[in-house]
Every structure is written in structure tokens, then in C-alpha cells.
Structure 1
Amino acid sequence: MATNENLPPNVIKQLAKELKSLDESPPEGIKVGVNDDDFSTIFADIEGPAGTPYENGVFRMKLLLSHDFPHSPPKGYFLTKIFHPNIATNGEICVNTLKKDWNPSLGLRHVLIVVRCLLIEPFPESALNEQAGKMLLENYEEYARHARIYTGIHAKPKPKFKSGAISESTTALNVDQTITNMDQKNNTPSGGAIPLPLAQPLAPSATATRGGNNQDQPATAVPTVEIGISGSATTPASATTQKKEVGLAKVQADRKKIDARKKSLKRL
């Protein structure tokens, strides 16, 4: 087993760069951990892919880097017991990427993604677990049942969101939506105070029943408001007074015209 002391400096630099990338943007369903003093052992928690017998389980695995890495491939092992054709009872992983198809240019990200894909599509032709391989070929339902049993017993449950946090977030969202709806209905700015006339309860005598089920209750008549010439609101009584005043002024003006004509005729 290699350590940071006997790994070449360029390999350590490349591994540090890859591990930082895996930490900042991990592959889907994979979380990587490592000992800063020993890059020769890479740990990863892999979520069982949806639609497989490994769904809802988290499986821990490790990659062991040899002293001449990356010229030779790492060895992969599942630390969590799993029923899979290409994973031996001791956890050893059999995949071509880690054997004949290895290329020094392949990074850790590629290796981890291939291992997770192995949970989606096993290869029973190159089985390390003969029982699982034979069962997969002859009776998939029985194979899936065994795999689910192993997942339920040995795999760590997949973490779920806390219902309390979701409930709190949903409640806050509903409150915000309600306020927004009220603002739009009342034509008030978002987050602003409700206008005072709407906030104050109306007196019972001034309330009219409109379109409700209590049709027997008489609606209180609302006086019509008219706008005067000056722009101020006036009641029907004041409007009548204004009309009389306008009529009187018109009569007086007509009288003045008649008087003026009489004077003109006398002069003639």
C-alpha cells in the first residue's frame, strides 16, 4: 500500500486536484472521502440507483492505489455487504475498467461512475459471485429479492429530508403567497400596510348584504355621491341647492338683458 511519502509528487498533485473536484462537484449519488495524509486509499459512499434492487441503500467502497499508480489500475472493494454478480463475497469488484480496459489517463471520477453503473447493469458472464450471476440469468425476480434483502440488512438507509423542515418551508411559502394574493387583490404594494379603511370593521348599519345566502336581510341603501364642479364630493341635497342657485343666476341675467333693451327703446 502506498502513502503520500512514496507516491511521486506529480501523482500526489494530480490526486489532490481530482479529490478537490470530487468534493466540490461530486458525481450523482456518490460522496467521496479521503485521508489527507494518505491518498492511497479513497473511500466513497454510493447511493443505490433508483429502479434497482439497491435503491434506498448507501454502500461504502474503497479504492486502493498501488505504488506505481496511475500506470497500474487501483483495486476496488465494497465494504458494505452486497449481493451482486460482479462483487465477490469479500467485496472485491470485477469490472473491466479496473483491469484490461484500464488507461492511466482515466481519473477517479470515471472509475467511481463506472462502479455505480455496475449496480444498474451487472455482467453475469464475468461473475465473481457465481450464485448471484446464475440467479440473475435464470430467475431475475429471485435475484432481485436476494439483492433487496441484502440491501435492507447491510446497506445504510438513504438519508431523507426532515419532514419538519419541509413543513416549515411550506408554511412560510403559503404565508408569503397569501400576503402576495392580498396585496394584488387590494392593490397594495408587496409588503406594505393594508389601507386603514379596509383594516377597520364597518358598522353593522352601513353594511349591505350582496350576493350572500342571507337574502331575507335587507341591504342598507348607500347614498349616491356626486362630484361638484370644484371636484369635492357632494350629497344629492347640496347638488339640488347648486342647481337652484344656477337657475336663479340665469333669471337675474335675463332680467338685466330685458332692462337694457327697455332703456335702448326709450332713447329711440
Structure 2
Amino acid sequence: MATNENLPPNVIKQLAKELKNLDETPPEGIKVVVNDDDFSIIYADVEGPAGTPYENGVFRMKLLLSHDFPHSPPKGYFLTKIFHPNIATNGEICVNTLKKDWNPSLGLRHVLIVVRCLLIEPFPESALNEQAGKMLLENYEEYARHARLYTGIHALKPKPKFKTGAISESTTALNVDQTNTSVLNVDQKNTVSGAALPLPSPLATSTVATKGGNGQEHPAILAPVIETGVSGSTAAAAPHKKEGGGLAKVQADKKKMDARKKSLKRL
């Protein structure tokens, strides 16, 4: 396993400073993955620039630093498969910044930005992928279709597991169910043991209207409910007969009949 011992102490110090800066303020569309145990291998996730066939893709790349870095340029590779004129099928990156235009004063930030710009403006004249370079020069639409296909298969951003709309819909449905349950609970509470709800007045007006002879609607009158004292039973009130008055009348009629019989016997 390679360690930071492969690099000179002054280089390690400079790299540590650069990597910290890249982690705190990363370049647009680039996220550096820091490996504190080995600064000689730098990983970075590069987002496909908008308006290019690499849009909506995330491409993992690495920079390999030699033991005499920064005097010699790092070697760059794309680990994610990509269809690009300046990137070989094995992922090797061909860009002048990493070759003839290399300058020891260039930092890692500059290298990463140049690589991402390569996705915006390829250079088919110095192609490592001859098929992509030829296609770009002769038929851009076909080249872009191939590049988008590779992006969709190998580099597509992972989608969120949950959608806000679906969560909202589920929450709404849950609230509706809870509301219905609450109504059901109220109904159950009002009919516990079969007892009827007390009417607001001695006579309750039914919601069913009946039409009278003159064609006008009249509310149907319900008899007041009287609790019988037995759970679940009710009785409609009926007019009470005065039992005492009726019995006295019968007794009086009987006395009259008896008096008539006595009169007949006397005759």
C-alpha cells in the first residue's frame, strides 16, 4: 500500500494545504475525495456540465502523482466509463495541461478545472478515442447521442428514494382516514349500550318532509322519546287515560242497573 512517505515532506505539506482548500471551497461541479493516508492518489467526482451530452452525470476520476511531483505532471484517469474524444477506453485523459503545457506551479485546482472544461469543449484533433473524435467532426448529433447513452448507463445521478409529492399524498390520505375514524368514534360513543341521544326538545322535527293536501311541505312530528330505564329500549309517549275516572263511571252504571233490578222485583 502506498503511503505519503513516497512524496517529499515539502510536497506533502503543500498537498495537504491544497486538499484542505479544495475540500472547504470546491470548484464548481467538482468534489474532491481526500485520502489522508496517501496524497499521491487524488479522487474527484466531476459533474457533467449543463448543456453537454454529459449533463446529469457524475464521473469519478483520479490523479496519480509521481514521486517527483510537482516537477512532473500527474496522470489522469476516468474511472467512470465515458464516450469522449480525449478520454481513452481505459479512462486515460489526454489534455495538454497534463503533458506539454505542464508547469510545476500549477495546482490541483487548476488541473481539475481543466479536466471538467474538457467535457464542455473536446479537442478531436488530439483524440485518444478515434471513434468519438471522428464522430464529433463528422456528425455531432450522432456523437452526442452516443455520449448521452454512456452517461445514462454508467454515470447517471442516483434519484432520491422518496418524492415529496408522494409523501404529501400519503400524509393527506392518513389525515382523511384519521378524520373518518374520529367520526366513527363519535358515532360509537353516541350509541354506547344502545342508548338514544337525548332530543333537544320534547318534539323533534324529522328531516323527512311530507306534503299535505295543499301541496305544501310539513315537517313530520316525532313523538318525544321516553327512556324506559332498560338499556337500549325506548318508548314513544302515548296519551294517558285517566283510569280512575273510567272506573268510577263503570261503578255508577252498575249501581244504576242494580237499582233497576230491585225496582222490577218490587213490582
Instruction: Bin the TM-score by the shorter chain.
Output: 0.5 to 0.7
Q: Distance in 1 between matches of 2:163 and 2:106?
A: 41
User: Secondary structure of 2:77's match?
Assistant: strand
Normalised by the length of structure 1, the TM-score is 0.59
Distance 1:144 1:25 in 2: 32
Q: Percent identity?
A: 89
1:40/1:132 CA distance change after superposition, 3 Å: same
Partner residue in 2 for 1:151 = 151
**CA shift digits 1:166-209 (9 cap, x unpaired):** x99xxxxxxxxxxxxxxxxxxxxxxxxxxxxxxxxxxxxxxxxx
Structure 1's consecutive aligned runs of 4 or more residues displaced over 2 angstroms after TM superposition are: 158-165
What is the DSSP-based 3-state SS (H/G/I as helix, E as strand, rest coil) of the residue aligned with 1:135? helix
Q: TM-score, normalised by structure 2?
A: 0.60
SS in 1 for 2:114: helix
> Whole-Å Cα distance in 2 between the matches of residues 107 and 50 of structure 1?
25
- 1:195 — aligned with what? none
Q: Whose Rg is larger?
A: 2
SS of the residue aligned with 2:49? coil
Q: What's the CA shift for 1:160?
A: 6.4
Q: Which residue of 2 aligns with 1:50?
A: 50
The answer to whether residue 164 in structure 2 is matched with residue 164 in structure 1 is yes
Alignment partner, residue 121 of structure 2: 121
Separation in structure 2 between the aligned mates of residue 156 and residue 36 of structure 1, nearest angstrom: 28
- Measure the CA separation in 2 of the matches of 1:161 and 1:47: 20
* Unmatched segments (≥5 aa) in structure 1: 169-268
Query: Which deviations, in whole Å up to 9, do the C-alpha atoms of 1:111-138 show, x marking residues without a partner?
Result: 0000000000000000000000000000
Q: Which runs of 5+ in 2 are unaligned?
A: 169-267
Paired residues for 1:1-268 under 5 Å: 3-157=3-157, 163-164=163-164
Quick one: structure 1 residues 43 and 139, their matched pair in 2 at CA, closer, same or farther if it must change by over 3 Å?
Answer: same
Q: Residue 163 of structure 1: CA displacement?
A: 4.8
Give the aligned residue type for 2:55: E
Partners of 1:17 and 1:93 in 2: CA distance:
25
SS in 1 for 2:34: strand
Q: What is the rounded CA distance, in whole Å, between the counterparts of 1:109 and 1:139 in structure 2?
A: 33
Question: For 1:40 and 1:13, how far apart are their aligned partners in 2?
Answer: 12
Paired positions, count: 167
1:51–1:160 distance in 2 versus 1, CA, 3 Å: farther
Deviations 1:126-157 (A, max 9, x none): 00000000000000000000000000001141
1-structure distance, mates of 2:57, 2:88: 19
- Closer/same/farther in 2, CA of residues 158 and 26 from structure 1, 3 Å limit: farther
Measured in 2, the distance between the counterparts of 1:62 and 1:77 equals 5
